[in-house]
A and B are shown apart, each in its own frame.
Chain A
Amino acid sequence: ETGVTQTPRHLVMGMTNKKSLKCEQHLGHNAMYWYKQSAKKPLELMFVYSLEERVENNSVPSRFSPECPNSSHLFLHLHTLQPEDSALYLCASSQGAQGVGYEQYFGPGTRLTVT
């Protein structure tokens, strides 16, 4: 595997379900990110992890819970979601998060539908 991978690619869940999104980066990067992309909104940064420590939580509701067990893996745990949470969830990684100018490399995303 190369680059940034995400599983599953598609997920349909009910409002009472609990599910997790997984992201893995094979680039040796130190920072990882979760973004939300809705149909009519720009990319929204959700969380930033640098060296496995959360450095940014962009006012995300608590029904989204991130986890970064090591610098290569990032999870997004989902529970009691709302229909408006349906979106494409993108994971990204970069060489560092504390310095300006690092380009981010993105995974293919998980298309989430909440019914």
Chain B
Amino acid sequence: AQKVTQAQTEISVVEKEDVTLDCVYETRDTTYYLFWYKQPPSGELVFLIRRNSFDEQNEISGRYSWNFQKSTSSFNFTITASQVVDSAVYFCALSSIQGAQKLVFGQGTRLTINP
């Protein structure tokens, strides 16, 4: 079964703090893809990153970084020096052959950055 778990329902931090959003996934496929999306109050999901299961290299893009660890089936997302504009709901998602290529989303983490 394909499953994505984001255990943190809501996180609230003060601006400039670092914050990590957790994502744990389940799949029996050896080839799969992981994604992170951001959903600001406007409603549109914004694609942030895609990783395939064969590439465990961590990625950094500005203040955003992602830590992919197959050993723990986790794909965590860290925002460094958070800003108010980072406030949104963040979704982790998984797709694989076993899952009929459908994008399976986690429940989302609502992140609030307070000034």
A residues contacting B by CB (< 8 A) are 42-43, 45, 48, 56, 88, 90, 92, 97-101, 103-109, 111
Contact = CB atoms under 8 A, between A and B. Distances in A.
A104 B33 contact: no
A100 B33 contact: yes
29 contacts: A42-B106, A42-B108, A43-B91, A45-B102, A48-B102, A56-B100, A56-B102, A88-B43, A90-B43, A92-B45, A97-B101, A98-B101, A99-B101, A100-B32, A100-B33, A100-B97, A100-B101, A101-B50, A101-B52, A103-B47, A103-B50, A104-B47, A104-B103, A106-B45, A106-B46, A106-B47, A108-B42, A108-B44, A109-B43
B8 interface: no
Chain B residues touching A, range? 20 to 34
Nearest to B46: A106
A64 B100 CA distance: 22
B87 interface: no
Interface of B: 31-33, 35, 37, 42-47, 50, 52, 91, 95-97, 100-103, 105-108
Contacts of A105: 47
Given A45-B102, A101-B95, A106-B46, 16 more contacts: A42-B106, A42-B108, A45-B103, A48-B102, A56-B100, A100-B32, A100-B33, A100-B97, A101-B33, A101-B52, A103-B50, A104-B103, A105-B47, A106-B44, A106-B47, A108-B42
Complex A-B, nearest 7 residue pairs according to Cβ-Cβ distance, in ascending order: A106-B45, A101-B33, A109-B43, A108-B44, A43-B105, A103-B47, A103-B50
Nearest to B99: A100
Contacts of A109: 43-44
Contact of A100 (B37, B44, B95): B95
A88 B45 CA distance: 12
A86 to B, nearest CB: 14
